[in-house]
Amino acid sequence: MADSIECGPAHRLPPVRFAFQPLPALTFSQRMLTLVVPGLIWPRQALADLSCDLPLPAFSLLLGRGRLNPAAAADAEGLLATELGADLPVPAAALRRLAFGRARDDADWLCLDPVRLRFEERSMVLDDPAQLALDDAEAEALAVSLAPTFESLGDIDSLAPQCWNLRLRKPAPAFAALQAGIGRAAAPLPAHADYRPWRQALNEAQMVLHAHPVNLAREAAGRPTVNSLWPWGGGRPQGTGRGRHDQLWAADPVPLGLAAWQGIAQRPLPARFEPEAGRATLALFDALAAPARLGDVLAWRDALVRLDADWLAPALAALRAGRLGRLRLLAPGEHNSVELNVARGELWKFWRKPRPLAEAFAAKAAK
């Protein structure tokens, strides 16, 4: 049994706005799609090797005709917050409650998600929680058994089998974001006194989980077990702002909840892009993100082909037909980010030839 908890403190970011290109006031171009695509940026040679044989006709043409702008390093969560007119850090737990239909309140909430840690060499590595595939009954049984362990810290509220929140009795210290930790070595919590009750509760939770009937049954069936919990995304939303977008499409409940908090229409990400008249749409296409984090190149290539066929090809057709005035593709990255901006009129610049993906979205070397 590990004697240290798996996640280190988050880096608290001040309220900032990432340096993507500002847009002029929208008139005709209110028919705009802003597409956020995490996981697109790789080292140049890796990106060339991964994409050189893929049919990406729409993407290549848009890269050739549009304008590329470098931007500062960013993550998808921070970039979406900026686009929606919100400040950082994002209180993920409080926001995703809204996406699951919970009422607004003034409480401090913390995400407390069930996870699996595995030994790799000398480290504990966080697996993608989606691989657990918990069902409702399993999650309820685990949450009920773990509730007494966290009673002094807060009350567990299971939003979904793999989405748990803790209603805090007092504000919690900062924890590392779950998405940033997937596929990476987990760090112990700091020795600071603020983390002492969390170290104790999480170590006790690991012991409860080790002998829990749900885990014993999953292990006997050859399924991955839940062996820890991951706290992250604490706090409460502060104020309301308004970005340049009329609606948000996403699968992630955190940005959906942020849009709800900001009073912006939201719905699950559709399988394919279809323009809506007079709407400025912000969409999170995150199918590349998990394969990029985990190095699953086959899944990444499949997702890239879907991006081209289901999103960029119909967006290109809509631009040509005048049903879309502008396309922005924002690719956040750990060391640098990139914005592709394509206005309808730029499609006529036939002398600009299609451009390879590796020339546009290569990662800069870490300093």
Q: Residue 352's domain spans which residues?
A: 28-87+240-360
pLDDT of residue 24: 43
CB atoms within 10 A of CB 216: 12
Is residue 362 classed as helix, strand or coil in its secondary structure?
strand
The answer to whether 361 touches 70, Cβ cutoff 8 Å, is no
Which single residue is written with the structure tokens 């399993």?
138
The answer to whether 99 touches 260, Cβ cutoff 8 Å, is yes
pLDDT of residue 229: 98
Within this chain, do residues 257 and 356 fall inside the same structural domain, yes or no?
Answer: yes
Within this chain, do residues 230 and 118 fall inside the same structural domain, yes or no?
Answer: yes
Is residue 23 situated within a structural domain? no
If we measure between CA atoms, which residue out of 31, 65, 68 comes closest to residue 321? Answer: 31
Within this chain, do residues 64 and 130 fall inside the same structural domain, yes or no?
Answer: no
Which residue(s) pair with 33 in the sheet? 281, 327
Task: Give me 250's structure tokens.
Answer: 């996403």
Please count the structural domains in the chain: 2
The answer to whether 45 touches 338, Cβ cutoff 8 Å, is no
Within this chain, do residues 154 and 181 fall inside the same structural domain, yes or no?
Answer: yes
pLDDT of residue 302: 97
Query: What stretches of the chain show up as alpha helix (H) in DSSP?
Result: 44-51, 57-65, 76-83, 92-99, 136-146, 178-181, 196-210, 213-220, 253-261, 289-294, 297-306, 313-321, 357-360
Which single residue is written with the structure tokens 């802003």?
34
**160-194 pLDDT, tens per residue?**
999 999 999 999 999 999 988 998 899 889 989 99
Within this chain, do residues 207 and 161 fall inside the same structural domain, yes or no?
Answer: yes
User: Could you state, in chain order, the average pLDDT of each consecutive group of 10 residues for the chain (367 residues)?
Assistant: 41 40 45 96 92 94 95 92 88 95 93 95 89 96 98 97 97 92 89 95 97 98 97 86 85 94 93 88 96 93 98 96 95 94 92 89 74
Is residue 337 classed as helix, strand or coil in its secondary structure?
strand
Within this chain, do residues 76 and 111 fall inside the same structural domain, yes or no?
Answer: no
Within this chain, do residues 219 and 315 fall inside the same structural domain, yes or no?
Answer: no
Within this chain, do residues 287 and 347 fall inside the same structural domain, yes or no?
Answer: yes
User: What are the b/e assignments for 337-366, b being 16+ CB within 10 Å?
Assistant: bbbbbbbbebbeeeeeeebbbbebbbbeee
What pTM was estimated for this model as a whole? 0.87
Within this chain, do residues 150 and 179 fall inside the same structural domain, yes or no?
Answer: yes
Q: CA 126, CA 226: separation in Å to the nearest integer?
A: 11
Within this chain, do residues 76 and 180 fall inside the same structural domain, yes or no?
Answer: no
Q: How many residues does the chain have?
A: 367
If we measure between CA atoms, which residue out of 110, 89, 107 comes closest to residue 10? Answer: 89
